Amino acid sequence: MEIRLHRLEDLIARCWESAETATAKAIEDKYFDPPEECITFLFACELRFAVDEASRVQEFERAFVSDLRRQFPGLPANAFDSARGLIARVNLHSRQHEGLRSASDLGVIITRPTVHGHSGSLQIRLLRDCSRGLIAQAKLNSRNGSGRLRWGPLTDNQEGLLPAHLDYCALLLYRLEGHSRNKLAPFRWQPCRGFTVPEIKSWLRSGAVPKEVASGDIIRGLSGGKLGTDCSALIERFIDPSASRPNAIEVRIFWPDGEGPPERVTFARRVGQKTEQLVKVYL
């Protein structure tokens, strides 16, 4: 059973939301009616800065160790010494060359350690570098002649490719307002699981989606395993392909080379009649 690391998930979400706020501020101060690709690039740069700052002051380490201590109170504090040193980085993978577009405008990948066991138990297993990804269709709002809101349409290629990927796909809605279209609202999302491509096309034409979701909920859902996919083949082929790749934003939470626990480790407390001994079993 995978254990939810709520404080780590909250930290990732806070970095994302901070980057959205900084992006909106930059656009209001410096840009006039930026295109969708410009918003994505500015946001990725702000996210990199926010994550770097949180990593510099050891917030990722503290959040992770705090989650472990809260979930496994039966283990002594020094059981998690090897888990210290956790850092994070944002990698922006840009399109290398033109070609047929993939099903996504943007891939979002979160790579982090995962912990398996039962909360409160005396044994856990820690796995490094587990990735989960989401296809995002980034759409920028416009208005028709009567002032009615609408979103950019799907391309013909996306219409053909999306049906196979709707379980791990979401619309990412960029909303610009104001006379100069330099007021960027907080990002909103619409998960596509359970819907069809004709329904999605109808939403984009009408400007209304069934339920707009805030970024914090999406990022917590993705990092916590409730959204997206953890299938490495799907991530490599469709969400962050190495050839003709679309834009992809990866938040990677990791230990630098040579630091942290091994890729698979089990911590256990072995209890005798009079003494207790902490045992590490490397797999």
Instruction: Domain count for the chain, please give it.
Output: 1
Residue 20, CA distances (Å) to 15, 63, 235, 252 in order: 9, 22, 24, 18
Query: Residue 102: what pLDDT?
Result: 53
pLDDT band at 103 (very low <50, low <70, confident <90, very high): low
Burial class (CB in 10 A: 0-12, 13-18, 19+), 77: exposed
When pLDDT is cut at 50, 70 and 90, the band that residue 14 belongs to is very high
pLDDT value at 82 more than 80: no
Q: Residue 116 — φ and ψ, nearest 5°?
A: -120, 140
Contact 53/221 with Cβ under 8 angstroms?
no
- The average pLDDT across 98-104 equals 47
Q: Let me know if residue 164 belongs to a domain.
A: yes
Q: Any idea which residue has 């930290």 for tokens?
A: 11
Angle between helices 6-30 and 36-56 (to 10 degrees): 130
Confidence of residue 166 (pLDDT cuts 50, 70, 90): very high
Instruction: Say what the pLDDT of residue 9 is.
Output: 96
- pLDDT at residue 282, rounded to an integer: 34
Residue 1 lies in a domain: no
- Residue 134 to residue 9: CA distance in whole angstroms: 16
Is 117 inside a domain boundary? yes
Considering the domain boundaries, does residue 246 fall inside one?
Answer: yes
64 inside domain: yes
Query: Rounded to an integer, what distance in angstroms lies between the CA atom of residue 226 and that of residue 220?
Result: 8
Which domain, by its residues, includes 48? 6-282
Give the relative orientation of helices 6-30 and 59-71 as an angle to the nearest 10 degrees. 150
pLDDT for 246: 56
- Whole-number Å distance between alpha carbons of 47 and 23: 9
The answer to whether the pTM exceeds 0.75 is yes
Question: What is the CA angle 252-193-36, rounded to 5?
Answer: 60
Does residue 214 fall inside a structural domain?
Answer: yes
Say which residue the tokens 């587990």 belong to: 130
pLDDT digit string (tens) for 122-157? Answer: 667 888 899 999 999 999 998 766 667 889 888 888
Cα(106)–Cα(138) distance, integer angstroms: 7
Of residues 112 and 241, the one with the higher pLDDT is: 112
Give residue 247's pLDDT band: very low, low, confident or very high (50, 70, 90).
confident
* pLDDT recorded at residue 164: 92
Whole-angstrom Cα distance, residue 261 to residue 127? 9
In a domain, 119, yes or no: yes
To the nearest whole number, what is the mean pLDDT of the chain? Answer: 85
Quick one: pLDDT at residue 283? 29
Whole-number Å distance between alpha carbons of 39 and 91: 17
Alpha-carbon distance 49 to 55, whole Å? 10
pLDDT (0 to 100) of residue 275? 35
18 against 256, higher pLDDT: 18
Check the CA dihedral 190-194-197-201 and report its sign. negative
Which has more confidence, 105 or 17? 17
- Percent of the chain beyond pLDDT 70? 82
